[in-house]
Structure 1
């Protein structure tokens, strides 16, 4: 996943939009990668919380 970072810590999945150079603007790849990260977290029985954030200065432009 190049436009999304995904990591888990205990019961928390952190999904980060990772295009800080363009204020995390949505491109053609980002929606599919975001959906895949959410599906991965949803399928993990250990994950109870998903946190969505943006890298850099903006969440999403």
Structure 2
């Protein structure tokens, strides 16, 4: 079962020839944890595999682009 975008740590949305990859952990300022890292790699792989996509945009949900590594998880 595929999770809705709101529940995924990162996802790709297509808009014509443009791929918008969204980091989706706004409650944690989009800090990167293991799940987001995997989801980002999946989204980038999806972008690279689609010859119709010509531009990729990386963005963050909520107020912040990305706070960096999730230090709570790293510790």
Aligned to 1:18: 24
Deviations, residues 15-52 of structure 1 (Å, cap 9, x unaligned): 00000011000111111110110010110010000000
Higher helix share goes to which structure?
A: 2
**TM-score, normalised relative to structure 1:** 0.93
Bigger share in strand = 1
Superposed, which structure 2 residues align to 1:35-50 within 5 Å? 35-50=41-56
Moved over 4 A (4+): none
Greater relative contact order (Cα 8 A, min sep 6): structure 1 or 2? 1
Q: Which runs of 5+ in 2 are unaligned?
A: 68-75
* C-alpha RMSD of matched pairs (Å): 1.0
For structure 1, the 5+ residue unaligned runs are: none
TM-superposed CA distance for 1:10, in Å, is: 0.7
